[in-house]
Structure 1
Amino acid sequence: MKAIILNRSLEQKIEIAEIEEPHLGPTEVLIQVKAAALNHRDEWCRQGLYPGLQDGIVLGSDGAGVIMKTGGMVDASMVGREVLINPAMNWGDDLKAQSKDFKILGMPDHGTLATYVKVNTDRLHDKPDNFTWEEAAALPLGGLTAYRALMTQGKVQSGEKVLVTGFGGGVAQFAAQFAIAAGADVYVSSSSQEKLNVAEKIGALGGYNYTDEDWVKKSLEETGGFDLIIDSAMGDTLNNLIKVVKPGGRIVFYGATKGNPTMLDARKIFWNQIQLIGSTMGTDRDFEQMLEFVQKQNIKPIVDQIYQVEQATEAFDRMKAGEQLGKIVISFKDSD
């Protein structure tokens, strides 16, 4: 079968290779992948920035497709079922935080960027009927991460002012869509005016270019501050977020792409009763609630571009450049 694997001996660090079809365990199924979506973790693997890397592993956490075979303990009537995959594995029993055995599909286990992928049946959910294959593949990891950050950890309420930073990436666009659907007054930030314009078209009340020196002042004048901020950058941008969050407000961060802050305005945090809340991926319950919310609110993932398997390097390069608005998807519908 055709697969996009990590190969750090090559200049591009990834390779389109022919590998053997997976062998199924008793509770697993074989899914013919119709579409798979990229996440930042795939590009971080290519750059060697992810722990536990292994050459030869099929990348990809997001995918949707058709069940083709079942393991010995799986009802054979599942064959032909159209599904999407929850890539969060082994969360554990504690809803507050993941277990030490938690891992994400696509490294160190073979992922979705292949003609076929095997997964345990407890990771499967029916593909929404009104979703294309590309939309279904775009939803799982980003949708789950955004839902937990916004709903479970952030506890967003209707009428609250919410700022979603870095609009354009997969999780941020879901967080904005979810917050709008939840009745919040949503604002976004981005370094791209085009992305800010798109955010306003889908219902955001305003946007700020975080490269502008006066964005903090401008946002405070226009909004009076935010009740909840959803962020993935951290680094020294955190102090600006501390300035624009209301007293008693919450800052939920699901990543730290800019690393740790070199300095922290601790006095303002404790004096203003600000909550800093970490979040990552989500529980099985988060996933089920996210999928139900998406279907009830008729939310569709924003798909940036669709690439064929042979264009894998172009797709990864677009992710690396941060040019995308929504999810980058690779189609396997015509793959052997």
Structure 2
Amino acid sequence: MKAMVLVGADQPLTLQAVDKPSLATGEALVQIKAAALNRRDYWITIGKYAGIKYPTILGSDGAGVVTEVGPDTDPYWLGKEVIINPGHEWGDHPAYQGKDFKIMGLPEDGSMAEYVKVKTEYLQAKPAHLTFEQAAAIPLAGLTAYRALFTKGGAKAGNKVLIVGAGAGTGTFAVQFAVAAGCQVFVTSGSGEKIERARQLGAAAGVNYKAQDWAEELKHLAGGFDVIIDSALGKDFAKVPGLCNPGARIVFFGATAGNIPELDARTLFAKQIQLLGTMMGTPDDFTAMLNLVNEHQIVPVVDEVFPLEDAQKAVDKMGSSSQFGKLVLRVS
């Protein structure tokens, strides 16, 4: 089969012929129709991610058709259009992942290939209202956003929700999911165009975080927030607790702008604010997320679709952070 292979840090992804995976009991072979990029793919290509091995086939997101199943494996999935849960071996505790948890696309080969092998327990039916390219955009970012908003953040109808960094894949999903749940949604972005696009997805308003008074402007617009979703952190995070309503939940899952700065502890305990870390999600989170997508006929935001052989161009675009929504590869 053909696959995009990473042979080393700061080396371009190259299209190569590699062996098609062989299957064990409980596994299925998925012919990938579309794959999508995540920020982790970019970090891996520049050598800034834990546990990197070379050569490797990246890609945590994929949608396609099951063409084979392993020996003594239920043939139910044969011929089915599927979407893949990229979080494997979560463990026994729903509150956190176990020591064996792993994400498809490293250490095991991922979806930037014509075929990928997956345990059948990680397969779900592709939402019927979506194309393969749209469905492939969902898994990692959609799961992360869902768990941050609902499992950890407890967002519900009527809550005021702030999404910090609305242009990323997780940010666009968080906007769509929160709007679907009946929340009043506000966003930040470094781009006025991205704020306007978030408004088109249902956000009530947004502010540019490059402005000196962005926090004051948000407070003027919203009054205060019940749930804040942040994947950037950095020095400006110190202003976030001041935007919270009493009992608010601040959920974070990344640190692209740096670590958590010194915070005013008095604000945290006086308002009984919760700081909650999260990462990916459980199989139950993944199922619930897809149920939300199907119930509300949510269509993921796809910024651009590239042919598989142009995967490096997609990685380069992700490195520039110029996209709004997901970058997708059409595989076959």
Structure 2 length-normalised TM? 0.97
Q: Is the 8 A contact 2:4 2:309 kept in 1?
A: no
Distance in 2 between residues matched to 1:186 and 1:260, nearest whole Å:
25
The question of 1:227 aligning with 2:229 is answered no
Post-superposition Cα deviations, 1:21-70, rounded to whole Å, max 9, x if no partner, equal 01111111111100000000000100111111011111000000011111
Following TM superposition, by how much is the alpha carbon of 1:247 offset from its aligned partner in structure 2, in angstroms?
A: 2.6
Once residues 313 and 71 of structure 2 are traced to their aligned partners in structure 1, the CA distance between those partners, rounded to angstroms, is 39
Instruction: Provide the C-alpha distance between the structure 1 equivalents of 2:296 and 2:53, rounded to a whole number of angstroms.
Output: 40
> What TM-score does the superposition give when structure 1 sets the normalisation length?
0.96
**One-letter amino acid matched to 2:217:** K
The residue that corresponds to 2:14 in the other structure is: 15
Name 1:319's counterpart in structure 2.
Answer: 318
Query: Shift of the alpha carbon at 1:16?
Result: 1.8
Once the two structures are superposed, what CA deviation does each residue of 1:77-131 show, in whole Å capped at 9, x if it has no partner? 5321110100000111111111111110000000000010000000000111111
Give the AA of the match of 1:192.
S
Deviates more, 1:263-272 or 1:133-142: 263-272
Q: Name the Cα RMSD after superposition.
A: 1.2
- Structure 1 residue identity aligned to 2:89: N
Instruction: Give the aligned partner of residue 105 of structure 1.
Output: 104
Q: Residue 12 of structure 1 contacts residue 313 of structure 1 at CA under 8 Å; is this kept in 2?
A: no
Give the equivalent residue in structure 2 for 1:60. 59
What is the alpha-carbon distance in structure 2 between the residues aligned to residue 55 and residue 325 of structure 1? 30
What is the deviation of 1:260?
Answer: 1.3
1: CA distance between counterparts of 2:41 and 2:315?
8
Q: Is the Cα–Cα contact under 8 Å of residues 14 and 309 in structure 2 kept in the other structure?
A: no
Deviation track 1:116-155 (CA, whole Å, cap 9, x = no partner) reads: 0000000000111111000110011111111100010000
CA drift of 1:299 comes to 0.7
- Residue aligned with 1:35, SS: strand
Q: Distance in 2 between matches of 1:241 and 1:78?
A: 46
Deviates further, 82-91 or 247-256: 247-256
Any idea what the Cα deviations from partners look like across 1:307-333, whole Å, max 9, x if unmatched? 001211110011111111111000012
Partner Cα distance (1:121, 1:157) in 2: 32
Q: Does 1:162 align with 2:161?
A: yes
| Ranges in structure 2 where 5+ consecutive residues have no aligned partner | none
Which stretches of structure 1, 4 residues or longer, exceed 4 Å deviation after superposition? Answer: none
Aligned to 1:5: 5
Q: Number of matched residues?
A: 332
* Deviation digits for residues 231-280 of structure 1 (CA, Å, limit 9, x no counterpart): 10112121121121223211000111122134222232222221101111
User: Once the 2 structures are TM-superposed, how far is the Cα of residue 13 of structure 1 from its aligned partner?
Assistant: 4.0
1:1-336 mapped onto 2 (5 Å cutoff): 1-8=1-8, 11-333=10-332
Residue pair 2:8, 2:55 contacting (<8 A) in 1 also: no
Could you list the runs of 5+ residues in structure 1 that have no partner in the other structure? none
Indicate conservation of the 8 Å contact 1:13/1:47, yes or no. Answer: no
Q: Sequence identity of aligned pairs in percent?
A: 47
CA deviations 1:192-229 (Å, max 9, x no partner) are: 11110011111110001000011111111121111110
SS in 2 for 1:188: strand
Partner SS state of residue 25, structure 1: coil
